[in-house]
């Protein structure tokens, strides 16, 4: 009798206890590799090892749609300028263009012969660059969904790529420890920058196209002057590999994510950490700024996506 009563009391207390506030975007069944915010700031797309791309209402932190089409891990995703289309790159060697209103594929870009690890979009939304484990970077015309050019020169897996210098150049990073700069018009390699001591996993470029940040397996984040083709500083802090980098729209702040399970918030010019965000139980794989630059989004190996206030360092509750 006593045992039965205790069980009943415990059950009643659990039933009456307030539910914990849900401040994570839940849905992916494996690690989150990439996150991107829509141009109007209302939605988020995410890519995961579970083979899916997911569309979210960012304010409500609720799932709107699951995009199925890849047959392996989806490693990278971004919005197109219209906010109604997205593009993803996958371990299945494919790049897929999606209509977010219907959840249907509208095009496939095929040409890589290994994992597509990273993608980047020109400012006008007409060109896409892709980085692959086939040691190449490819440039695509999105009006024609056609391959324009292949950039060859890396000696190992290419992990990420970014547009720079008013979209006249590309910056790519690789397991070969180099940061390469390419002239888009000619396809020529114009610089190969060294400074990292281990594989380079991530790159982000400021909106003016003149400064790049790169993240490495040893936790280093290096800052580069693209115009002058030289190393210009570093952002020290991560105690393990860095896989995610993002730069704010004003070019003054950065976010990074790494194997130490932290997202870090930086003043780029001052090379100063402003805040760190702890909450993921496993490495932080992807980061992004909200459209207004007031929030940071992190995606983790723990399958979770978290939304943070950059001012307070606290998770943002749904609806806020």
Q: What does the pLDDT look like over 99-129, one tens digit per residue? A: 999 999 999 999 999 999 999 999 999 999 9
- Of 147, 89, 143, 146, the closest CA to residue 119 belongs to 89
Question: CA-CA-CA-CA torsion for 180, 283, 89, 173, nearest 10 degrees?
Answer: 0
| Token pair in block for residue 27 | 């849905």
Is residue 316 in some structural domain? no
Supply the pTM of this predicted model.
0.92
Task: Count the neighbouring beta carbons within 10 Å of the beta carbon of residue 190.
Answer: 12
Is residue 5 in some structural domain? no
68: pLDDT strictly greater than 90: yes
Contact 109, 140 (CB under 8 A): yes
Name the helix (H) or strand (E) containing 59: none
For the segment 8-15, the average pLDDT, to the nearest whole number, is 31
197: pLDDT strictly greater than 90: yes
27: left (phi over 0), alpha (psi -120 to 50) or beta: left
| Token pair in block for residue 284 | 């932080």
| Token pair in block for residue 237 | 């802090």
21: pLDDT strictly greater than 50: no
Check residues 181 and 9 and name the one with the higher pLDDT.
181
**Per-residue pLDDT band at 11 (split at 50, 70, 90):** very low
Phi, psi of 246, rounded to the nearest 5 degrees: -150, 150
Query: What is the percent of the chain where pLDDT is above 70?
Result: 93
Q: Model confidence over 199-244: pLDDT tens digits?
A: 999 999 999 999 999 999 999 999 999 999 999 999 998 999 999 9
Contact 143, 125 (CB under 8 A): no
- Of 300, 235, 309, the closest CA to residue 272 belongs to 235
- Of 281, 283, 279, the closest CA to residue 308 belongs to 279
**Radius of gyration of the CA atoms of the chain, in A:** 20
Phi, psi of 2, rounded to the nearest 5 degrees: -60, -45
Is residue 257 in some structural domain? yes
User: Average per-residue pLDDT in the chain?
Assistant: 93
Is residue 298 in some structural domain? yes
Contact 52, 28 (CB under 8 A): yes
| Token pair in block for residue 96 | 């897929």
**Per-residue pLDDT band at 23 (split at 50, 70, 90):** low
- pLDDT score for 70: 98
Structural domain total, the chain: 1
- pLDDT score for 19: 31
The one-character DSSP state at 210 is S
Question: CA-CA-CA-CA torsion for 104, 109, 114, 118, nearest 10 degrees?
Answer: -80
Name the helix (H) or strand (E) containing 209: none
**Per-residue pLDDT band at 320 (split at 50, 70, 90):** confident
Is residue 11 in some structural domain? no
Measured over the CA atoms of residue 156, residue 157, residue 159 and residue 161, the dihedral's sign is positive
User: The domain spanning residue 153 has which CATH number?
Assistant: 2.130.10.10
- pLDDT score for 93: 98
Q: The domain containing residue 116 runs over which residues?
A: 24-309
279: pLDDT strictly greater than 50: yes
- pLDDT score for 56: 98
Is residue 317 in some structural domain? no
Is residue 56 in some structural domain? yes
DSSP 3-state of 13: helix
Is residue 174 in some structural domain? yes
């Amino acid at each position: 009798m006593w045992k039965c009563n205790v069980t009943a009391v415990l059950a009643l207390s659990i039933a009456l206890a307030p539910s914990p506030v849900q401040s994570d975007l839940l849905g992916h069944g494996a690690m989150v590799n990439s996150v991107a915010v829509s141009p109007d700031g209302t939605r988020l797309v995410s890519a995961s090892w579970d083979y899916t791309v997911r569309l979210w209402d960012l304010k409500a932190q609720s799932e709107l749609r699951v995009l199925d089409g890849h047959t392996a891990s989806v490693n990278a995703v971004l919005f197109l300028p219209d906010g109604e289309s997205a593009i993803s790159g996958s371990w299945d060697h494919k790049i897929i263009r999606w209509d977010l209103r219907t959840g249907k594929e509208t095009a496939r870009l095929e040409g890589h012969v290994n994992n597509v690890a990273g993608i980047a979009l020109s400012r006008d939304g007409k060109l896409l660059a892709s980085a692959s484990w086939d040691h190449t970077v490819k440039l695509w015309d999105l009006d024609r969904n056609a391959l324009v050019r292949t950039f060859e020169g890396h000696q190992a897996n290419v992990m990420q790529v970014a547009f720079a210098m008013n979209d006249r150049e590309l910056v790519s990073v690789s397991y070969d420890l180099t940061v390469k700069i390419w002239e888009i018009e000619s396809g020529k390699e114009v610089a190969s920058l060294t400074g990292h001591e281990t594989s380079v996993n991530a790159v982000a470029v400021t909106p003016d196209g003149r400064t790049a940040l790169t993240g490495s397996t040893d936790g280093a984040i290096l800052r580069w002057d693209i115009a002058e083709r030289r190393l210009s500083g570093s952002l020290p802090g991560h105690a393990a590999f860095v896989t995610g980098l993002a730069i704010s729209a004003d070019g003054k702040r950065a976010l990074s994510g790494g194997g130490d399970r932290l997202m870090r918030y930086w003043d780029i010019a001052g090379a100063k950490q402003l805040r760190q965000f702890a909450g993921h139980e496993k490495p932080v794989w992807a980061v992004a700024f909200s459209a207004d630059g007031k929030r940071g989004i992190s995606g983790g190996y723990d399958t979770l996506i978290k939304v943070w206030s950059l001012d307070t360092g606290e998770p943002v509750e749904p609806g806020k």
